[in-house]
Structure formats: structure tokens, C-alpha cells
């Protein structure tokens, strides 16, 4: 008997911007390892991760409401967070 789940659903993740749960494939992952943030384009980087919807509105909301600080429960410099949000903006622009 096969152990594969035929009705497997995609994992859900909560956005640090809008705070809604959506399918993991519809979101960007930001990973933190050893205190360093990275924009995790392929979703496979090691470390703790938070998720962000692939929308300019969610990116802006997360930026204004300190979503990265809230998600990781620690402070980051403005330069570091801006670099992450800028990369997310670039990813959206490239996808359009």
C-alpha cells in the first residue's frame, strides 16, 4: 500500500505585511541565519524564515509596520531591512 498522500495540500504561511495565511508558493521567504537576513529566492536557505506576499501593498505594509522586526522578534538596522524590501520590490517588478 502506498504511503503517498494523494490529497496533500500546499503548506500555508502567514504574511508579515497583511498577516493573512496564503499558500507558500505565493510568497517570498526572508531567512535569518546567525543574525543575518537574506532574501531567500528559492525558499531553501537554512535558518528561521518569515514570509511576505508577492504584492507591493504587503511589502509597503511590512515596511511601515516593522514586519521583519516583528516576525523575527529582534531589531535590524534600517539599511538591512530596506535592502530586503528593495529586493522584494525588484522581484515583483521583474515578474511583471
User: Over the stretch 17-35, which tens digit does the pLDDT of each residue have?
Assistant: 999 999 999 999 999 999 8
CB atoms within 10 A of CB 30: 27
73: left (phi over 0), alpha (psi -120 to 50) or beta: left
CA–CA dist 78, 43 (Å, integer): 24
* pLDDT the model gives residue 38: 94
Average pLDDT, the chain: 91
pLDDT band of 4, cuts 50, 70, 90: low
Alpha helices in 2-95 (DSSP H): 56-64, 67-72, 78-95
Residue range 12-95, CATH number? 3.30.1230.10
**% of the chain exceeding 70 in pLDDT:** 92
Amino acid at each position: 500500500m502506498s504511503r503517498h498522500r494523494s490529497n496533500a495540500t500546499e503548506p500555508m504561511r502567514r504574511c508579515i505585511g497583511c498577516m493573512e495565511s496564503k499558500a507558500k508558493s505565493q510568497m517570498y521567504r526572508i531567512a535569518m541565519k546567525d543574525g543575518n537576513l537574506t532574501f531567500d529566492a528559492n525558499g531553501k536557505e537554512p535558518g528561521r524564515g518569515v514570509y511576505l506576499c508577492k504584492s507591493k501593498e504587503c511589502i509597503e505594509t511590512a515596511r511601515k509596520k516593522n514586519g521583519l522586526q516583528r516576525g523575527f522578534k529582534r531589531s535590524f538596522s534600517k539599511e538591512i531591512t530596506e535592502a530586503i524590501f528593495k529586493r522584494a520590490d525588484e522581484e515583483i517588478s521583474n515578474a511583471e
